[in-house]
Every structure is written in structure tokens, then in C-alpha cells.
Amino acid sequence: MTKVAFFTDIAHLHNALALFPLQGFAGKKVPVKLHMGEKKNPYFVKPELVKCVVDELKKVQAEPFLFDTTVAYHGSRYTKSDYLNTAKLHGFTMKNVGCEVVIDDSGVSTAVEGRTFEVADHLKNSSHIFALSHVKGHMQSGMGGAIKNFGMGGVTKETKIKIHHGSRPVYQKDSCTFCGVCAEVCPFDAISVEKNKWTYDKGECFGCGVCVENCTTNALRNRDADMQFLLACSAKACVQGKNVLYLNELKRIAKGCDCDPNAGPIICPDVGYLVSDDPVAIDKASLDLINDVKENVFLKINKVDPLKQIKYGEEIGLGSSSYQLIMV
Ligand code: SF4
Ligand code: SF4
């Protein structure tokens, strides 16, 4: 059974990491994969926590650097220079965290489950990776944790777009009852339903797949596959064959993602931190601990079941959902 260490005070990070083979990171250049926040989002992982991680990696003679990829939409992280400016604005500087920040905008095509995903160059070229994931809600995957950190955050713009495109709806009129649920749940008003007419505006569709998830008559299906399946595949493309340690921060748990300047309210009290060497186990433990405090909060609020990414991850061999929680 996979070990997942749980602690509530960051002072215990060292003891939590001691349960895992951190010594193997010695002498390696190690990307610390994290999301450094979209402008105006207040919830992203803070430099103080990142500094603790960087210090632990340096203690074992690793050479860490903060790492992320550019995004597919025109926000404050669209280009490398945009992202570097935003990272600086959010306090991710050499002075504050003790290492440099690297942003990738290109990647290497990698096959998983009959599809290809462009894994960011610095991930592809690293044997050892540290994943620092802020766990929060997400309108497209219910929850964002370690799987999402890589599944969307570890790949190029082109692959991000491909994942969104693959989960767009395909409509089957014969099965539609014109109930209007898809229009109600669509976060971007891309669907309208009036009497016996279903209308879809592709230009407004962000490919979140929420409409497909909520159609009970199978009148909608994904163009390629469920977004959570594609995220699990993409995450596997990023981490397969690598030595990866994962730290999930379960604090400032908002309705929406760190990508969103309007991520909504905090929907669950702070829980703490988890460390593991398995992305599926750490996300399952994160979800279980959050559900213990606020039952099914992500499903209720975002209307997408986050357990799917965990199940898909297990099915494709990304990791195991069976874990042993160790209090540190
Ligand atoms: S949710 Fe499904 S059945 Fe209802 S209107 Fe939309 S496509 Fe039709
Ligand atoms: S995939 Fe998302 S954005 Fe597109 S129509 Fe469906 S609910 Fe709306």
C-alpha cells in the first residue's frame, strides 16, 4: 500500500520527506513543478512554503528550480515573459525562494493510451521532479491536485488546447429531451435550449465537458474522451519513468482554480499537507480528507466528480488509490 504522510504544521515537512527516498535527488537538477498563480488570484501556493521545499532539496545537495509552463488563454501567463513577470509579482524571486524560475513554452511528444501529449522540455529532460500542488476546486475536473498539476500544467499550450478540444460535446438530437440541464451548467453560456431547439456556440465553448457530465440521456458525448481521462493520460506522459515526490497543500481551498482571477469563495476549512511518491494516492488522500470535513464539496459545488481522475489514473497505471495515511 502506498504511503501518504499527513501533517498540519509545515515544520514537519522534513520528517514527512524522510519517509521517502529524497536522498536519490542528490546532485540532480530538480524542477519544482508548481502553479505560481494567475494575476488577481489570491490562493496559489505561497513563496514561504516553496522556500521550505527548496531548502529541503538543497539539504540533500539537489539543485532545485521553480518550474511551470505557459498557458493557452490570454492571461498573465500566456508567454514566458508574461509568466516570469507574474511569478515575480507573486514573490517568486531568487531572494525569496533561493532558486531561479524557469518557464517552458515547448515540449516533446510522448505517447500514452494511443494519444500523444507534448511534455514540457524541462520535465522531459529531468530524471527527478518535485511536484508542489495546491489542492482546490476546479470547474472542469471538480478538483485540482497532483494529477491536474501535471495533466494540464506539465504540457505545452498545444496539448492543453488539444485536451480541451477533446472533451468538447458532440450532440445526438435523437437522445435529447431538451431538459436544458446542459445549458444551466455550462459555465460559459455556450449552450442554449429553447423548446425543441438545442444550440451550441463553439466559439464560446472552453471544452470543460461539464455539459456531457451532466446530460443523463447520452445526448452528449465527448469528442475524444472525458477531460479527466485525458488529464490522467497527460499526467502519466509527464511522470512515467521519473522519480517524483509530491507535496499537496490543502489550504485556501477555493471553488475554482489558481488560473482563475475570480476563483470564488473558500469552500472548505484548511486541512494540512500531504507527501507521497504516488500522484493517485496523494490526490485520493486529499479528496478523502476534504470530504471528511465537507462531504462531496467539490462534486456539489462544481458538479463534476473529481474521483474520476483518480479512477482513470489508477486504470492507466499512473498510480494506486490504495494508501496508508501516516501522521507525522
Ligand atoms: S442535458 Fe442532454 S438531454 Fe438535456 S437538453 Fe442538454 S443535451 Fe438534451
Ligand atoms: S464543454 Fe463546457 S464550455 Fe463547452 S458547452 Fe460544454 S459545458 Fe459549455
Residue 191 grid coordinates: 449552450
CB atoms within 10 A of CB 85: 14
Cβ of 177 less than 6 Å from ligand 1: yes
Q: Among the bound ligands, name the one nearest to the CA of residue 185.
A: 2
Distance CA 124, CA 107 (A): 8
Give residues with Cβ within 8 angstroms of 99, minimum separation 6: 32, 54, 63, 64, 65, 66
- Atom from ligand 1 closest to the CA of residue 183: 6
Distance CA 96, CA 98 (A): 6
Comparing C-alpha atoms, which of 264, 265, 254, 303 is closest to residue 140? 303
Q: Considering the entire predicted model, what is its pTM?
A: 0.93
Instruction: Provide the phi-psi class of 207: left if phi over 0, else alpha when psi is between -120 and 50, else beta.
Output: left
Q: Ligand 2 pocket: which residues have CB below 6 Å?
A: 168-169, 186, 188, 190-191, 205-211
For residue 278, report the distance from its CA to the centre of ligand 2, in Å.
Answer: 31
For residue 180, report the distance from its CA to the centre of ligand 1, in Å.
Answer: 6
- Atom from ligand 2 closest to the CA of residue 168: 1
Do the bridges between strand 272-276 and strand 107-112 make them parallel or antiparallel, or are there none, so unpaired?
unpaired
Identity of residue 227:
M
Cβ of 215 less than 6 Å from ligand 1: yes
Distance CA 147, CA 67 (A): 16
Let me know: does 32 contact 50? Beta carbons within 8 Å.
yes
Full pLDDT tens readout for the chain, 328 residues: 899 999 999 999 999 999 999 999 999 999 999 999 999 999 999 999 999 999 999 999 999 999 999 999 888 999 999 999 999 999 999 999 999 999 999 999 999 999 999 999 999 999 999 999 999 999 888 999 999 999 999 999 999 999 999 999 999 999 999 999 999 999 889 999 998 999 999 999 988 888 998 999 999 999 999 999 999 999 999 999 999 999 999 999 999 999 888 888 999 999 999 999 999 999 999 999 999 999 999 999 988 889 999 999 999 999 999 999 999 9
Q: Among the bound ligands, name the one nearest to the CA of residue 215.
A: 1
